[in-house]
Amino acid sequence: MTTENEQIKVLFIGDIVGRPGRNAVKHFLDDLRACENNDYDFIIANVENASHGFGLTEKNHNDLASYGIDCFTSGNHIWDKKDIYSYIDKSDRLIRPMNYPKGTYGVGYRIFDVKNTKVAVMNLLGRTFMTPVDSPWEILENEIEKIKEQAPVVIVDFHAEATAEKICFAKFCSAHNVSAVLGTHTHVQTADERIINNYTAYISDAGFCGAFDSVIGMAYEPSLKRLITSIPERFDIAETPVLELNAVSMRFDAVSGQAQSIERIHYIKDISEVQT
């Protein structure tokens, strides 16, 4: 086991859903800074639902950056707010799924300087029950050697629907010395965190940040109506005073990139009790 000085400690925050999700993240990070355990070297968050549940506005991008988040991953909803096209190429921390066709706005991975080493963050979409995209398997296999030459720690946000696809892809990534594969998209935190092949930190879904009393962040009544009638219904963000944040905390060897630990975080905050 490496010493603490030889490790990189990373926080990965699950899908942020609307204003309640943004508020949950702000409260959590504020509370984190107020305690002695505020020793994260790098913070990542999935932001594809951060603006009213669909996409990301430039204002919300800038607000979340001001909270201290170093890297934003995304998914299939990142294009839902059309001003994304005006700023995604200017952002120094936002990535979109790498398996969109060549010529798509933005980039699919970034490399960051963290604690005297390099950390690469990749974003990929699954294909089972998802809109057709290029093969994440081929992209990972074709690109990982080049990325590993630049950054020993490689973290993948695998934005996918099917648990079996996530598990299989994580094992595939582990064979290529990927440091972590973190599932997103389904918004429900799973209890299967582990280290695969004694190298790759994994969880099927990191969970979501948003209203605690909700249907994966959305209001109950329109969700119920849509499921009962099968008629398209406008989803609305649930607004409740109790906020929820789901995340994972990980440690990596700064030289080899090998995962040392992974731990789930489940945070609840009743903001009706918070003085404003």
pLDDT in tens, 143-185: 999 999 999 999 999 999 999 999 999 999 999 999 999 999 9
- pLDDT at position 268 over 60: yes
Does residue 234 form part of some domain? yes
At 37 the pLDDT is 66
CATH number at residue 245: 3.60.21.10
Decide if 276 is inside a domain: no
Closest residue by Cα to residue 128 from 96, 168, 72: 168
User: Is 266 designated active site?
Assistant: no
Structure confidence by residue, pLDDT tens digits, 57-74: 999 999 999 999 999 999
Catalytic hit among 52, 61, 77, 176: 77
Give the pairing of strands 117-125 and 153-159. parallel
Domain membership flag for residue 196 = yes
Alpha-helical segments (H) within the chain:
18-33, 58-66, 84-87, 136-150, 163-174, 220-229
Question: What pLDDT is stored for residue 36 in this prediction?
Answer: 66
Q: pLDDT tier at 232 (50, 70, 90 boundaries)?
A: confident
Residue 182 included in any domain: yes
Average pLDDT over residues 244-258: 98
Single out the residue of 198, 254, 273 nearest to residue 31, CA to CA. 273
Q: How are beta strands 194-196 and 200-203 bridged, if at all?
A: antiparallel
DSSP-based three-state secondary structure for 253:
strand
Query: What does the pLDDT read at residue 120?
Result: 98
Q: For 3-41, what is each residue's pLDDT tens digit?
A: 666 899 999 999 999 999 999 999 999 999 988 667 899
Residue 107 sits at φ, ψ, to 5 deg, of -130, 155
What share of the chain in percent tops pLDDT 90? 90
For residue 29, give the nearest of 202, 237, 247, 191 by alpha carbon: 247
Residues 6+ apart with CB under 8 A from 102: none
Kindly tell me if the per-residue pLDDT of 79 is higher than 90.
yes
156: amino acid identity, one letter: V
Give the pLDDT confidence score for residue 39 in this predicted structure: 87
Domain count, the chain: 1
Query: Does any domain span residue 190?
Result: yes
Mean pLDDT of the chain: 95
How far, in Å, CA of 246 to CA of 121, rounded?
Answer: 19
pLDDT of residue 12: 98
Q: Determine the pLDDT at residue 136.
A: 98
CA nearest 270: which of 5, 91, 24, 97?
24
- Give the pTM: 0.95
Is residue 124 within 8 A of residue 158, CB to CB? The reply is yes
What is the identity of the amino acid at 138?
E
**For residues 140 and 275, which has the higher predicted lDDT (pLDDT)?**
140
pLDDT over 70 at 1, yes or no: no
Residues of the domain holding 77: 4-271
Quick check: helix, strand or coil at residue 159? strand
Does some domain include residue 100? yes
Percent of the chain scored above 70 by pLDDT? Answer: 96
With respect to residue 129, please indicate whether it lies within any of the assigned structural domains: yes
| pLDDT score at 276 | 45
Write b or e for each residue in 198-228: b if 16 or more Cβ atoms lie within 10 A of its Cβ, otherwise e. ebbbbbbbbbbbbbbebbbbbbeeebeebee
Looking at residue 35, what is its pLDDT? 85
